[in-house]
Amino acid sequence: MNRTYELMFIVRPDMAEEDLEKLISTLEAQVTTSGGTVKSMDKWGKRRLAYAVRGFYDGLFVLLIAEGGGDLIHELERRLRVTEPVIKFQTVRVDLAQKRLAKIKAIKDAKKKTPPPAPSPAETGSEPAAAAAAV
Amino acid sequence: MADEIRSSSGEGSSGGDRPARAPRPGGPGGREGGRKFFRRKKVCKFCVEKIDFIDYKDVRLLAGFVAESGKIVPRRLTGVCTPHQRRLSTAIKQARNIALLPFAGRAS
């Protein structure tokens, strides 16, 4: 229930602004209906595509970050598939990577607060020195 | 007998000493068809800059690891360490899927 997904979709460049807004609000409503939360919604604007998609060389990129269960994405993608102006979409699950990053960060912070005690040179240094002197 | 022959040719005092030569390049992979010099040790860019999360949306970062033809550059050329190369490769493939990077051809 706490999976975080990044859904990026590309809309054809000749789509009107208000239609895009309508589509985005529909998707956001769908997220909340399925019991998830929209973490952020980012419009990248018109960008050049690396290859032609359905005959278009430019597209309007939209990034939607949402939290929810697995079936949330099923529903969102189904909607995007039938929406005609959407030419491409991709969903990436990011909560596992974020969890790992947070764990590493926590370990790093803990290490910074309590620095490991440095081995005292008196004990370790004198023995080999004494041994060398004896030989 | 062999020793006498060698010493008579005037190579050195103690038997069998070769004249000093440049140290044999043992660095990158031994027999690589005549590499005569050490390849300087390449460091992993991500380890140095402590970049842990390689984002598929960061096209500028990824484009530095993609060849002109669009292929992913092997890590022996870029010096990236193995775990980062795996994540980088996944990120590049994700970027290709969403048309941020090309599958083949120059990245615009």
A13: CATH = 3.30.70.60
**Chain A: nearest CA to B50, how far in angstroms?**
11
Q: How many residues in chain B?
A: 108
Q: Is residue A28 part of a domain?
A: yes
Domains and CATH numbers, chain B: 45-97 (4.10.640.10)
Number of separate domains in chain A? 1
How much is the mean pLDDT over chain A?
A: 85
What is the per-residue pLDDT for B106?
A: 72
Q: How confident is the model at residue B90 (pLDDT cuts 50, 70, 90)?
A: very high
Q: Is residue A110 part of a domain?
A: no
Give the one of B53, B98, B108 whose C-beta lies nearest to A90's C-beta: B98
Other CB atoms within 10 Å distance of the CB of residue B39? 13
Q: What is the mean pLDDT of residues B18-38?
A: 54
Q: Is residue A29 part of a domain?
A: yes
What ipTM did this prediction achieve? Answer: 0.77
CB B94 within 8 A of CB B56: yes
Query: Which residues in chain B touch residue A58, judged by CB atoms under 8 angstroms apart?
Result: none
pLDDT of residue B107 exceeding 80, the answer is no
What is the per-residue pLDDT for B12?
A: 45
Provide the residue range defining the domain that includes A19. 3-99
pTM equals: 0.72
CA distances from A43 to A17, A80, B97 (A): 11, 16, 19
**Chain B: nearest CA to A52, how far in angstroms?**
8
